[in-house]
Copies of this chain bind each other. A is one copy, B any other.
Amino acid sequence: MALIVQKYGGTSVANPERIRSVARRVARYKALGHQVVVVVSAMSGETNKLINLAKEIMAEPDPRELDVMVATGEQVTIALTAMAIMDLGIKAVSYTGAQVPIWTNDAHTKARILDIDDKKIHADLDAGFVVVVAGFQGVDENGNITTLGRGGSDTTGVALAASLKADECQIYTDVDGVYTTDPRIVPEARRLKSITFEEMLEMASLGSKVLQIRSVEFAGKYKVKLRVLSSFEEEGEGTLITFEDENMEQPIISGIAFNRDEAKITVLGVPDRPGIAYQILGPIADANIDVDMIIQNVGADGTTDFTFTVHKNELNKALTILKDKVQGHINAREIVGDDKTAKVSVVGVGMRSHVGIASQMFRTLAEEGINIQMISTSEIKISVVIDEKYMELAVRVLHKAFELEEDRG
């Protein structure tokens, strides 16, 4: 008997038929004698519908109230899922994040889980219940409803698996595993049987969209065995996320990730003096805006250009802050925003022991006439920001250049 946490994303619970399919899978695991905790997202499209409704009332919805609204998405799904399981003759009970409770800090719309009180869940499991928990949400110490931000249901699943010391955390989604890149862009993309945590971290953060980045960090931190599977297939082993590079013959490159969601902000003509980066990014961080890539070039005339990327949704907010609070203060010449950008990344742990990956990447892009606007590197990835319109082309030619379509056994 194992304790399994199964997390189902929005497309896996998109309608009653899909929810019944989730219930049938849960029933198969129960029939094998396992204890099952199910974490569900909102039905696909619901969260956006709620956010758009809020925006009809308030152009910049109040974060506390937005969380109250958005949390209803999962609240509907937990009840439907519990009922679908009951309808198969299995005892089930649902909990919202606040009911568990899943304690978070009070950073509305992007809260972080602080602690999970799993007493009720353990008692229910011992009494033979399947426990259905709302993903993506929690409650702060004052009883306010919080949400973890988009994709946070994965984090809920992994955090629950860690807290419950589950044997496996299964992430069900609309793909059957992690691919070398998005098959909608490169039909030859292959499913990876396993991928390391570090690679997955880079793939997720770079927008491969299979898993939410914080969930991968969590899984790594608490050594949760994590598996990505398709909710649309009855069988299939998915992709196992491993802690260590267990394969001696690890391929150099595991995949090509990309992200259309980032916008670029350039602060032009900044005095080239110490503390300038903090003066620019401090107010951005204070406004709880995540910054991804950051680049600063030394200028010739005593000034420099400072460039960074933020989520496209936060571009206007970030530009307003910079123009109101920063530009005059640091005497910058101009602030320019660009949301017609995309980030493409080559990811692989093998990069550590191989040279020439960067130059191969840049040559491949140059051969297609794709201009590189920004470059950023880590130990296991190289990312470039390019014009959005070349994104698919870049992914295709890089996938081919690194021979990712070939099965490496």
Residue in A20, A58, A76, A83 whose Cβ sees the most chain B Cβ within 10 Å: A83
Closest to A73 in B: B72
Chain A residues packing against B (C-beta within 8 Å): 16, 19-20, 50, 53-54, 56-58, 61-62, 64-66, 68-69, 71-72, 75-76, 78-80, 82-84, 86-87, 93-94, 96, 98-99, 143-145
**A405 CB, min distance to chain B CBs, angstroms:** 42
Task: Tell me the nearest residue of chain B to A83, going by C-beta.
Answer: B58
Number of copies: 2
Residues of B within 8 A of A54 (CB): 79-80, 83
Query: Is B76 a contact partner of A69 (Cβ separation < 8 A)?
Result: yes
Evaluate whether A56 and B96 lie within 8 angstroms (CB atoms) in the complex, with A69-B80, A83-B62 already known.
no
Cross-chain contact B58 with A69 (CB below 8 angstroms): no
Q: Do B62 and A99 touch across chains, with their CB atoms under 8 A apart?
A: no
23 interchain pairs, CB-CB under 8 A: A16-B53, A16-B57, A20-B57, A53-B76, A57-B83, A57-B84, A58-B83, A58-B84, A58-B87, A64-B93, A65-B79, A65-B82, A65-B94, A66-B79, A68-B78, A68-B79, A68-B94, A68-B96, A69-B80, A71-B75, A72-B72, A72-B75, A99-B144
How near does chain B come to A108, taking the closest CB pair, in angstroms? 11
Q: Are B69 and A75 in contact (CB under 8 A)?
A: yes
Label chain A's interface by main secondary structure. Answer: helix
Are A56 and B16 interface neighbours, CB within 8 A? yes
Chain B minimum-CB-distance residue to A56: B16
CA distance A83 to B56 in the complex (A): 10
A56 vs B98: C-alpha distance when bound (angstroms): 27
Question: Are B143 and A57 touching (Cβ within 8 A)?
Answer: no
Known: A82-B62, A86-B62. A68 touches B75 (CB 8 A): yes
Asked if B72 and A76 make an inter-chain contact with CB atoms under 8 angstroms apart, the answer reads: yes
- Per a CB cutoff under 8 Å, which of B19, B57, B68 touches A57? B19
Shortest distance between the CB of A120 and any CB in chain B (Å): 9
Residues of B within 8 A of A68 (CB): 75, 78-79, 82, 94, 96
